[in-house]
Structure 1
Amino acid sequence: MTIGKIIKQLRSVHSLSQEDLAEQLGVSRQTISNWENDRTVPALDYMKKLCEEYQLSLDQLFRLETNEVGKTKLSKRLLFYLSVLFAFLFLLPFSESSLSSLIFIFTAIVIVFASWDLARLLFKEVVLWHSRRKKL
């Protein structure tokens, strides 16, 4: 979700018109429209004003806070990858040579996908940890 869509959603949740939000931030209605339609991006000081006005952190404004649903979804996918990986490794000794090479290829593919998802999960956690550390 872009910053413009987030600003529009935030404005809608608080039942504000573009004029109302523009008045609160000290900008024109056209500026708000440009932000919401992703023609321009608000400067950092306006983002800070938005956060102060609605008691949000910049992480929340940019949707960097990971939700538990996303974590759970990634965890389930990792568990699935590991299950498939163990199934392939279990079948490997019982297969013929041509089938074992195919199982080896599928195992490698599963390892790549699992590593990618694990790296995404760890990156989100590092970003959150770093942002929380800066707040202190």
Structure 2
Amino acid sequence: MMLNNRIRELRARFRFTQQELASKVGVTRQTIAAVEKGEYVPSLLLAMKICREFDMSIEEVFQLQEESE
């Protein structure tokens, strides 16, 4: 399974740079970039912090997707 997310889209809507979001949730800009690209699966705590910045639920920001074979 893969974890997809809408972070890039939501950052644009809220006018946050990667650095601004990273500072708000206590990680590096590189971590936010990696999460956006699907290269890094965030901890539950980090996912919840990100969702809180957008005032959205986990399910609204992150979606599980079956990997195609």
TM-score in terms of structure 2 length: 0.76
Which structure's relative contact order is higher, taking Cα pairs within 8 Å and 6+ residues apart? 2
Displaced runs of 4+ in structure 1, greater than 6 A? none
Higher helix share: 1
Q: Which sections of structure 1, spanning at least 5 residues, go unmatched?
A: 65-136
Give the SS at the match of 2:15.
Answer: coil
The CA deviation at 1:51 is: 1.8
Q: Which sections of structure 2, spanning at least 5 residues, go unmatched?
A: 65-69
What per-residue deviation string (whole Å, max 9, x for no partner) do you get for residues 53-87 of structure 1? 221112222359xxxxxxxxxxxxxxxxxxxxxxx
Distance 1:63 1:41 in 2: 12
Q: 1:37 to 1:62 in 2, by over 3 A?
A: closer
**What percentage of residue pairs aligned between the two structures are identical?**
35
Within a 5 Å distance, the mapping from 1:23-42 to structure 2 comes to 23-42=23-42
What's the RMSD between the two structures over aligned residues? 1.9
Distance 1:21 1:63 in 2: 20
Distance 2:14 2:50 in 1: 12
2:43 partner amino acid: A
TM-score in terms of structure 1 length: 0.41
Partner of 1:54: 54
The CA deviation at 1:14 is: 0.7
2:27 partner amino acid: V
